[in-house]
Structure 1
């Protein structure tokens, strides 16, 4: 009986965590040969522990040095994150703190959530940190931050404290450190001349009936988040009509959906996989693609990080989290991952021109806030209906 109850709990939590496995629409992994950072970040004020007197040092400096020394004695930090290009970020951390080894495992958020919850059910606490969107019991990151520059409001778009508001899902204490501007759709301009579609509202024109393809949104996926963003931007009625009236075609295989868009069978794409699409563009399958999106994006697909409840290496976890949320850590994150924008005001923007920066964002909602989370069941039911449309 306990086993069934636990399995039910896992299923519910897995559904609540944001799946970015297919990377449709947000694509955490860039195209091949993009693993190296685009630019070396300037050194920040993230200090390693240093020997010497505590005289004339501020309280935070003393606490930081003690924490780093304790972290080196622990010797390692265990981190789960998305599969591609995060290893480069881990290597940069090890350069700054050579006494702390990062044990990194790449997996999607559903896998992270399932694995951690199963281990904790057996009283095994083996993971220190999740980088992106795992729905697991967490320590409060606010209690772990030592470095003043991390807590400085001016160093974050919409302020430091907003990062906790943007991550107020089932588990409190996580922090939204990066994002993608939503909503948008892709237009294949080999098939539709640029400018013919002027706004997202134009998608309801009868001429586009049967010409729109989307990824699967019958579960918590990035395509579902894209349509949820449309619901909060243009109204739920708009999305209902888009799916049913326009006979939206959906595919469970994100590679196939992207291919059908690239070859022009469906010239309008929602939840198209960025990684696959960049490859098709490089190969010349499609020559010109544009994004149709609001003048300023009101919705953020947020990416949250967490220190897992009862971390096995608490000091190393604290050191990594402070570094990761610093200017240096976020600069490396953007340079390696490329597809996301950091919330830090002093981190670089994505090297990809089609990734919208903060000057074109007017944040109103974030994917892990109360109202968007509550609307997910409706979007999932709509996704199930979409799979039945022929």
Structure 2
């Protein structure tokens, strides 16, 4: 087709309807640094409205969307309820972010396709989902004006982190200090820098999410490795007898109960029940450890060959909107990439500052060239 005929098809809604019904290839995308050219505000709004109405009607006929994501209680309860209230579509929420890739490997080998949308971290997404070709582009199906309004995003447009810039939507960008102290037991001034963690008095009193597997432990472990080197992290994890877990709830429980009053890679959302009882924790900035940014379970992915493709697209659009982002960010205690969502649930120093150069542990290049090799180092160290 010529450019003239493609433009005519878009104005008539034909091309969009074809994409919605058969999941075909997306039209050529503009450069990520510039917004797409449009025929005009009125034409664009009319086209988006027609596309959304068609998509929503088909989604309601499908009746539900299957989403896998974070295992925490707040997300499991709040996200499905909010989406159901908005659109009347059920969410079958599977809290299996840490195991979904292995399950999908077996299911897809057997020709089974049981997942519509995935909310996950960078290791699973860029280490498995993306290279295996299990994802459809999100950028072409974002049609809600609220979702695609570049002025509502800190990045000037929806932030896609994959190499193609159209598939993996990053919803969060939160500063992490990596370390959590139970201040009832460990005053902040007793850990003024990273080297203080090697003090013999802390031996056997530190717990961490396992840095040798995908997840928050690897993000924190990567920041420590980049900041201090392999000899130092060996002294920390091995020499200080750091106790490891692969249960996201267990580390905050240990820290809160004082069994291990120092924690590495403790999710603030898991501490909230304790904070509400009056307990105090500190997540200090250490001068010799780089602060890093990440997204937790904030990478939004649209699975190809989905059993409920239209409901999946509606869910993705809603998640990218202000409402969906706010519900999810609060449940996860994260800082949204959107700039129109207030974040009273996180301390102000969790919000990235333009003048600070952070280690972005979710950057695709860092993950594939450094973070995954660091994971292999920890796997060898801690076996």
What TM-score, normalized to structure 2?
Answer: 0.71
For residue 149 of structure 2, what is the aligned residue in structure 1?
Answer: 152
Deviations for 1:259-315, whole angstroms, at most 9, x for unmatched residues?
A: 55445464432134656655566678xx54211225883332442111101222222
Take 1:233 and 1:158, find their aligned partners in 2: how far apart are those partners?
27
**For residues 179 and 196 of structure 1, do their structure 2 counterparts lie closer, same or farther at Cα, with a shift above 3 Å needed?**
same
Take 1:55 and 1:275, find their aligned partners in 2: how far apart are those partners?
43
For residue 222 of structure 2, what is the aligned residue in structure 1?
Answer: 228
Indicate conservation of the 8 Å contact 1:175/1:304, yes or no.
Answer: yes
Deviation at 1:142, TM superposition (A): 1.2
Take 1:253 and 1:63, find their aligned partners in 2: how far apart are those partners?
43
Indicate conservation of the 8 Å contact 2:178/2:283, yes or no.
Answer: yes
1:80 to 68, 71, 78: 68
Does 2:305 match 1:315?
Answer: no
For residue 245 of structure 2, what is the aligned residue in structure 1?
Answer: 252
Deviation at 1:65, TM superposition (A): 1.9
Take 2:338 and 2:270, find their aligned partners in 1: how far apart are those partners?
28
Does 2:374 match 1:378?
Answer: yes
Provide the secondary structure at the position in 1 that maps to 2:172.
strand
**For residues 70 and 256 of structure 1, do their structure 2 counterparts lie closer, same or farther at Cα, with a shift above 3 Å needed?**
closer
Higher helix fraction: Structure 1 or Structure 2?
2
1:220-369 mapped onto 2 (5 Å cutoff):
220-236=214-230, 238-244=232-238, 246-252=239-245, 254=247, 258=252, 261-262=255-256, 264=258, 266-272=260-266, 274=268, 277-278=271-272, 287-294=279-286, 297-302=291-296, 303-335=298-330, 337-353=331-347, 356-359=350-353, 362-367=357-362, 369=364
For residue 29 of structure 1, what is the aligned residue in structure 2?
Answer: none
Provide the secondary structure at the position in 2 that maps to 1:131.
strand
Provide the secondary structure at the position in 2 that maps to 1:110.
coil
Deviations for 1:144-181, whole angstroms, at most 9, x for unmatched residues?
A: 111233223332233435x322x559x97221112442
Please, which runs of 5 or more residues in structure 2 have no aligned partner?
Answer: 1-41
Q: Which moved more, 1:251-260 or 1:172-181?
A: 251-260
Take 2:55 and 2:254, find their aligned partners in 1: how far apart are those partners?
52
Indicate conservation of the 8 Å contact 2:65/2:311, yes or no.
Answer: yes
Take 1:215 and 1:312, find their aligned partners in 2: how far apart are those partners?
34
For residue 111 of structure 1, what is the aligned residue in structure 2?
Answer: 99
Instruction: Provide the alpha-carbon RMSD of the alignment.
Output: 3.5
Indicate conservation of the 8 Å contact 1:79/1:102, yes or no.
Answer: no
Indicate conservation of the 8 Å contact 1:211/1:268, yes or no.
Answer: yes
Deviations for 1:316-363, whole angstroms, at most 9, x for unmatched residues?
A: 22111111110111122234x142222211112152548823449754
For residue 31 of structure 1, what is the aligned residue in structure 2?
Answer: none
Deviations for 1:10-30, whole angstroms, at most 9, x for unmatched residues?
A: xxxxxxxxxxxxxxxxxxxxx
For residue 212 of structure 1, what is the aligned residue in structure 2?
Answer: 206
Does 2:126 match 1:131?
Answer: no
Does 2:157 match 1:164?
Answer: no
For residue 90 of structure 1, what is the aligned residue in structure 2?
Answer: 80
For residue 195 of structure 1, what is the aligned residue in structure 2?
Answer: 189
Take 2:275 and 2:372, find their aligned partners in 1: how far apart are those partners?
32
More contact order relative to length (CA 8 Å, sep ≥ 6): 1
Take 2:322 and 2:179, find their aligned partners in 1: how far apart are those partners?
31
Please, which runs of 5 or more residues in structure 1 have no aligned partner?
Answer: 1-53
Indicate conservation of the 8 Å contact 1:81/1:104, yes or no.
Answer: no
For residue 49 of structure 1, what is the aligned residue in structure 2?
Answer: none
**For residues 124 and 208 of structure 1, do their structure 2 counterparts lie closer, same or farther at Cα, with a shift above 3 Å needed?**
closer
Deviations for 1:223-246, whole angstroms, at most 9, x for unmatched residues?
A: 2221112233455554344335x4
For residue 18 of structure 2, what is the aligned residue in structure 1?
Answer: none
Take 2:86 and 2:206, find their aligned partners in 1: how far apart are those partners?
48
